[in-house]
Amino acid sequence: MIRLLKGLFSIKQGAIRAAALVVLACLLTACAHTVSVDGRFPAPVGNQHPLTVGIFLSEDFRQFTYSENRDDRDEWNINTGRAQKNLFETVLGSMFKETVNLSQYPSNLPQGVDLVIVPEVRELQFTMPRETRVNIFEVWIKYDMRAYNQQGDAVAEWVITAYGKTPTAFLKSQEAALAQAINVALRDAGATLYTGFERVPELQAFLASKQRALSMKQTEADNN
Amino acid sequence: MKFLSALFSMSLLATLNSGCTTVVIDEYRRSAGELAVGDSVVILGRRHSSEYETEPDLIDCVGQTLHNPKSGVNVIPEQQFVDALYPWFEPRTAPMHIKSLSKLMDIPDVRDRMERYGIKYIVWIDGNTETTSSAGSIGCSIGTAGAGCFGFGTWDKESDYEASVWDFRDQELSGKISADAQGTSYMPAIVVPIPLIARVQNNACKGMAAQLQEFLLPPQSASR
């Protein structure tokens, strides 16, 4: 009888412990937000630069997740990896005469590549409507961009800053509103990458020398 | 049961009712409407301000209300147009003045796409709708005898929009239309909350779309 009571008591204790764990887990997950951004972006319209460019998106870049766990905020895990991979491949793919997606760099660089572009996320920040008292979600993303020549020497380093906002999350979850703001920021990053490439002095010089070489080649071909 | 169905009908009736809204439309016209068969109009929202965002649903509403191929108004949806001309109509890159538009037309691919769409007018809408004041309170409670809400709430909304009409072919400003709307919504709650919503943004949209139709079509066909 005593053994039976002991058994029942231990079952009860186990059940209580399990229930407490479930409640604790629920409370913890209630404060953790996960956002996975999966954007598709249109190809830019405009002139292409006469270059063959290798694009190297590192594993960290393709699976980038921003994690934040501060005392004054809920826990946030924001995955932008897939969306930014789509963006850079689409925009860079339309910017140049030819592009090659590189799975590794600097080893095994194919012949004929004029420039290798390597982007990296430097920073991601966001604000919620209750923090700014403005009824919008805002996102800032900063990218470090690096360009190398065929020999692996650095040609240029520049920074892309992107901003995105979305109106209030009325009838939307915070996660969905933030994902929308990130997609707007990524579109902005694409626009800055496309329109700002030629404004980087080192790249301007690189493009000019490439164009000079091409026109000389053309003149030689015409003379022959 | 009868009481409940009466309450339900009352709240449904009240939902169909709406609070009062006043709309004031102003127009400044520099040239007569010249929209011909095969021409298109695109309506775009200005999104460069950091304090507010011209709501995409307002732009959709104006576009859908204005779109009427039978009367000669063909409106291209905003997202479709912005995607097709990426990245030239993003918040950061969109032309702020008609003179900047001519620079954009130096890019052959952009010019081709604009011509393929048959764009005659670009309408830029800038502004937003906001809640300017609110008062009252509603309390809801639940008990063994049932549930119910009691109280009274009221809030004012104000819309302020300005549409700039650019003649894409003649590269000039054709005119401007402004729509100012104000309205007060009420929510009395006697057991069931009865919303009397003033559809401020929707009325500003309808007023602006009606004025735009008159503006864009040649004088003889506008009356159709």
pLDDT digits (tens, 9 = 90+) for A3-41: 544 554 454 555 556 555 555 554 545 568 999 998 889
Residue B155 amino acid letter? W
Cross-chain Cβ contact A191/B50 below 8 Å: no
pLDDT at A82 over 80: yes
Residues of chain B with Cβ-Cβ distance to A192 below 8 Å are 92
Cross-chain Cβ contact A190/B92 below 8 Å: no
Residue with tokens 């990296």: A120
Is it true that the peptide bond before B195 is cis, omega within 30 degrees of 0? Answer: no
Residues of chain B with Cβ-Cβ distance to A188 below 8 Å are 90-92
Give per-residue pLDDT as tens, B46-103.
988 877 889 999 999 999 999 999 888 999 999 999 999 999 999 999 999 998 998 8
Residue B154 in domain = yes
Kindly report the nearest CA distance between residue B222 and chain A, in angstroms: 35
pLDDT at B8 over 60: no
Residue B2 in domain = no
The predicted structure's pLDDT at residue A9 = 47
Size of interface A-B (CB pairs under 8 A): 50
pLDDT at B163 over 90: yes
Residue A105: Cβ-neighbour burial (10 angstroms; 0-12, 13-18, 19+): middle
Residue B15 in domain = yes
Chain A positions contacting chain B at CB under 8 Å are: 41-47, 134-136, 163, 165-167, 187-188, 190-192, 194-195
Cross-chain Cβ contact B87/A195 below 8 Å: yes
Best probe of the B interface among A40, A41, A45, A135, by most B CBs < 10 A, is: A45
Asked whether the beta carbons of A58 and A118 are under 8 A apart, the reply is yes
Q: What is the mean pLDDT of residues B152-165?
A: 95
Is it true that the peptide bond before B91 is cis, omega within 30 degrees of 0? Answer: no
Residue B174 in domain = yes
**pLDDT: which is higher, B15 or A128:** A128
The predicted structure's pLDDT at residue B1 = 45
pLDDT at A171 over 80: no
Residue B171 in domain = yes
Full-model pTM: 0.83
The predicted structure's pLDDT at residue A169 = 55
Among A203-212, B18-27, B175-184, B214-223, the minimum mean pLDDT is found in B214-223
Task: Find the CB nearest A194 among B53, B84, B87.
Answer: B87
Nearest chain A residue to B81 by CA distance is: A42
Helix (H, G, I), strand (E, B) or coil at B189: strand
The predicted structure's pLDDT at residue A146 = 96
Reported ipTM = 0.81
Cross-chain Cβ contact A167/B113 below 8 Å: no
Kindly report the nearest CA distance between residue A58 and chain B, in angstroms: 25
Question: DSSP secondary-structure letter at B68?
Answer: B
Kindly report the nearest CA distance between residue A15 and chain B, in angstroms: 31
Give per-residue pLDDT as tens, B133-157.
999 999 999 988 889 999 999 999 9
Give the pLDDT band (50/70/90) at residue A74: confident
CB within 8 Å of A182: residues ≥ 6 apart: A35, A37, A39, A78, A80, A83, A126, A139, A141, A164
Task: Find the CB nearest A136 among B53, B88, B90.
Answer: B53
Cross-chain Cβ contact B86/A44 below 8 Å: yes
- What strands lie across the sheet with A75-79, from one edge to the other? A32-36, A75-79, A65-68
Residue B216 in domain = yes
Chain B positions contacting chain A at CB under 8 Å are: 50-53, 55-56, 83-88, 90-93, 107-110, 113, 130
Buried-exposed string B138-172: b where 16+ CB fall within 10 A, e elsewhere: eeeeeeeeeebbeeebebbbbbbbbbbbbbbeeee
Best probe of the A interface among B58, B92, B132, by most A CBs < 10 A, is: B92
Cross-chain Cβ contact A191/B85 below 8 Å: no
Supply the mean pLDDT for chain A: 86
Cross-chain Cβ contact A45/B53 below 8 Å: no
Q: What is the CATH number of the domain that holds B142?
A: 3.30.160
Best probe of the A interface among B86, B106, B197, by most A CBs < 10 A, is: B86
CB within 8 Å of B181: residues ≥ 6 apart: B21, B22, B23, B24, B129, B158, B159, B200, B201, B203, B204, B207
Residues of chain A with Cβ-Cβ distance to B92 below 8 Å are 163, 188, 191-192
The predicted structure's pLDDT at residue A21 = 58
The predicted structure's pLDDT at residue A147 = 96
- What is the domain count for chain B? 1
Domain carrying residue B194:
7-222
Cross-chain Cβ contact A136/B84 below 8 Å: no
DSSP bridge pairs for B203: none
The predicted structure's pLDDT at residue A1 = 45
What is the greatest pairwise CA distance in chain A?
A: 109
The predicted structure's pLDDT at residue A121 = 97
Q: What is the mean pLDDT of residues A117-134?
A: 90
